[in-house]
Amino acid sequence: MRSKAIGRFLSILGAVVVSVAPASVYASDLDLTTAGATQTATANIGGSFTVQQISPQSTGTGVIDSFLRVQSNGTSEQGYNTSLGTPMDDKGGGFTRAITLAEVPLVDRNGTPAISDDYYQFLLDINQNKSGTDNLLSLNQIQIFTATADQLASANADATATTAATVTLNQAGATERFRMSSTTAPFTRILLDYSLNPGSGAGDMFLYVAKSAFGAAALTDNVILFTQFGIPNGDTSFGTGTNDGIEEWAVLKPTIQQCQTCNLEETPEPASLMLLGSGLAFAAARFRRKTVRQA
């Protein structure tokens, strides 16, 4: 009798424990802690997007155009690009600046320029220590706005246990085109591992945002990107926060400058060039013979 009562008590206790166990506050973890990993998810604003862990590559000034650098060691690090100052954790200088939509590469699904340029491509380079789990870094929020002019955010909300970090732009002509994570649970985060690409300047992640998310934005519009890293919303299950150098957002420079006014139909084919050369040679020979006869 006593054993049955104990059994019933344990069953009830188990049910209570299950009922109060907290549900995960994350809708999805986009895990890029494996070399070459690619993850696709649906953004809170902006539709489907893709993130990709990239192989080490040069990210020097001849390869990329940096537009946002942030640094603040601790539980949270955040900022957005502007040429009007250094809000939040922005680092000053020419590497944090306003950019236009025309400066952001359009690429295809394989990340290369092609006829079906469906995605705007952004590059992220992180910096962390390598001891213990210090190499791990959580990227908890990305917002992208277009605006007719450079501007400062009118408000911002820091990340808490129940809310994601966000900024607000209220000036005329500003439109939020992309927001990775919802402002309330369930959240979306990107898991990064600095040790996959050792050293600053190696590049760590590509972000691909659908071209359709930018609607009718003009190429001359400013692109304003907000980013927040660190211990995500009070959860210490991944990494120890930011602990080393700068996190840097950039765009790749084009390797070939396309001629915007060239008419490819007017470019002579190799066979035409050969015929033209033969004709000129024949005319020159006739001219020489005529000159000799007249002499």
Q: How far, in Å, CA of 248 to CA of 91, rounded?
A: 10
199 pLDDT band, cuts 50/70/90, is: low
Q: Specify the amino acid at residue 258.
A: Q
pLDDT in tens, 108-159: 877 777 666 799 999 999 999 988 889 999 999 999 999 999 999 999 999 8
Distances (CA, A) of 117 to 87, 111, 208, 210, 223: 33, 9, 11, 9, 18
The domains of the chain are located at 35-252
pLDDT in tens, 63-97: 889 999 999 998 899 999 999 999 999 999 889 99
**pLDDT at residue number 60:** 55
Strand residues in the chain grouped as ranges (E): 26-31, 38-42, 48-53, 64-70, 76-80, 99-100, 106-107, 119-125, 136-147, 155-157, 166-168, 175-179, 187-193, 205-210, 222-230, 247-252
9 pLDDT band, cuts 50/70/90, is: very low
C-alpha closest to that of 109 among 35, 246, 5, 206: 206
pLDDT in tens, 156-179: 999 888 889 999 998 888 999 999
Q: Is the pLDDT of residue 13 over 50?
A: no
Q: How far, in Å, CA of 181 to CA of 143, rounded?
A: 9
266 pLDDT band, cuts 50/70/90, is: very low
**pLDDT at residue number 277:** 46
